[in-house]
Amino acid sequence: MPSLSTLAPLAGIIASIPSVIAGFDPTSQSNVAVYWGQNSYGQGSGAYVQQRLSYYCQNTEVNIIPLAFLSSINTPVLNFANQGDPCTVISGSTLFYCSELEADITTCQETYGKTILLSVGGATYTEGGFTSTQAATTAANNLWSWFGPDTSGNIRPFGTAVIDGFDFDFESTVSNMPAFGNQLRSLMDTDKNKTWLLSAAPQCPYPDAADGPMLDGTVSFDIVWVQFYNNYCGVQSFVPGVSTQNNFNFDTWDNWAKTVSLNPNVKVMLGIPSNTGAGAGYTSGAALASVIAYSKSFSSFGGVMMWDMSQLYANAGFLDAVNVDLGKPAVTVPVITSTVTSTSTSKSSITSTTTSATTTAPGSTLTTITTTSASPTSTGGPLVNEWNQCGGQGWTGATNCVPGTSCVAYSIWYSQCNPN
């Protein structure tokens, strides 16, 4: 990573770029949410090991970051994989105090405008819910005291930092969850100091076995990011050019949003794996672009959710491509020349060209584009159809676009054939 002194002269250029930083926008179809916390790519060190939260918050292509996970509620346990190492045990509690996260959550919200949620559950959650509605209500009150508005005297894993809401990611049947969800919703609605969000991550088969009772018109959710992977109804089952899909069922979830959801304005987001190892049914390129285009035809569509951040950062160009598919404009900056060479492969918001080498961060949000129409110089060979990939670093496929389209570079990693 370049030193601070190296980046300092770039401040003027960065300041001149129009701001596109924003959190969740309920009126938008281009929200992007990426889970952080589980280091699922699995590296213990090196370029793609999970970094601290604030590192990813600099990325302008991401709006919402759910922190994964609070993996146990009744006996509370926070699990953030390698990023839990800096945390310290709170005396008399099973919870940890995470000073680094306290600082990062505030930075992500105030400096980068991110929406930060705490995800409850995950694949390792085994409590099965609550023994009674009263136990569920008590548990919701506890969560609110730990992670809601800062009240003196409460156990606070994130110190003075206050998250923006809660996410439910239960993978198996849980009991008395409507009471739990409704108590949290009631507490959030009574706090007028900020806009609170409640989200859920059901799997795509409808009704969802785990979250079904909460989604059956009983709890008011702001966002539902459906996991369209690891199932027959995932994005891999989408058939392009067919209005009625047999397996891919975004239409079912759109109907749920309009006819069953307690909140008629709930947004349904397309949940996808961000890399081949992130989940079964990984889809990219033109195939994913077709799925997103189809999903955008439904009024409840609110954007894309990805699992997870470590997998995403190890998949160069994927985030750029998803943002293009969502219709977000690419953010460009001039080519910046420096005499300092960075040996790090960590993601940066600036692409630096050195006298001896070029250091480019994979999937960076402020990308260097030297032309808006990169027409291939080769002749002959297969032609690339409209909206398909035609170039990018490491690309070995065809580069000639069909007539009426041009190969447009969105980042050093990804170019596609757009209509002239």
**Given this model, what pLDDT does residue 335 score?**
34
Q: How far apart are CA 139 and CA 134, in angstroms?
A: 9
Residue owning tokens 């506890």: 142
**Given this model, what pLDDT does residue 342 score?**
32
**Given this model, what pLDDT does residue 11 score?**
38
Q: How far apart are CA 169 and CA 339, in angstroms?
A: 47
pLDDT, one tens digit per residue, over 292-334 is 999 999 999 999 999 999 999 999 999 999 999 999 876 543 3
Which is more confidently placed, 204 or 412? 204
pLDDT, one tens digit per residue, over 358-382 is 222 333 333 323 333 333 334 457 8
Residue 347 has pLDDT above 60, yes or no: no
**Given this model, what pLDDT does residue 125 score?**
96
**Given this model, what pLDDT does residue 241 score?**
93
pLDDT, one tens digit per residue, over 96-145 is 999 999 999 999 999 999 999 999 999 999 999 999 999 999 999 999 99
Each domain of the chain, given as residue ranges in start order, spans 1-17+331-363, 20-330, 369-420
Out of 26-30, 276-280, 322-326, 415-419, least confident range: 415-419
Q: Judge contact between 328 and 22, C-beta under 8 A.
A: no
**Given this model, what pLDDT does residue 398 score?**
86
Q: Judge contact between 31 and 269, C-beta under 8 A.
A: yes
Q: Judge contact between 183 and 141, C-beta under 8 A.
A: yes
Confidence of residue 394 (pLDDT cuts 50, 70, 90): low
The single-letter code of the amino acid at 37 is G
CATH topology of domain 20-330: TIM Barrel (3.20.20)
- Single pTM value for the model: 0.76
**Given this model, what pLDDT does residue 409 score?**
75
Q: Which of 61, 100, 171, 386 is catalytic?
A: 171
Residue 4 has pLDDT above 60, yes or no: no
What are the beta bridge partners of residue 407?
417
Structure tokens at 316: 């160069």
**Given this model, what pLDDT does residue 369 score?**
30
Report, as an integer, the average pLDDT of 401-410. Answer: 83
**Given this model, what pLDDT does residue 378 score?**
40
Please state, rounded to an integer, the average pLDDT across all residues of the chain. 84
Confidence of residue 387 (pLDDT cuts 50, 70, 90): low
User: Exposed (0-12), middle (13-18) or buried (19+): which is 401, by Cβ within 10 Å?
Assistant: buried
Active site residue 61: no
**Given this model, what pLDDT does residue 380 score?**
59
180 upstream amide cis, omega within 30 of 0: no
pLDDT, one tens digit per residue, over 32-82 is 999 999 999 999 999 999 999 999 999 999 999 999 999 999 999 999 999
**Given this model, what pLDDT does residue 362 score?**
32
Residue 6 has pLDDT above 80, yes or no: no
Residue 353 has pLDDT above 90, yes or no: no
**Given this model, what pLDDT does residue 372 score?**
33
**Given this model, what pLDDT does residue 348 score?**
30
The closest of 271, 321, 345 to 34, measured between CA atoms, is: 271
Phi-psi region for residue 330, left (φ > 0), alpha (ψ -120 to 50) or beta? beta
Q: Judge contact between 313 and 53, C-beta under 8 A.
A: no
Q: How far apart are CA 365 and CA 333, in angstroms?
A: 10
**Given this model, what pLDDT does residue 419 score?**
75
Report, as an integer, the average pLDDT of 403-416. Answer: 72
pLDDT, one tens digit per residue, over 229-279 is 999 999 999 999 998 999 999 999 999 999 999 999 999 999 999 999 999
Structure tokens at 24: 């969740």
Report, as an integer, the average pLDDT of 169-198. Answer: 97
Residue 338 has pLDDT above 50, yes or no: no
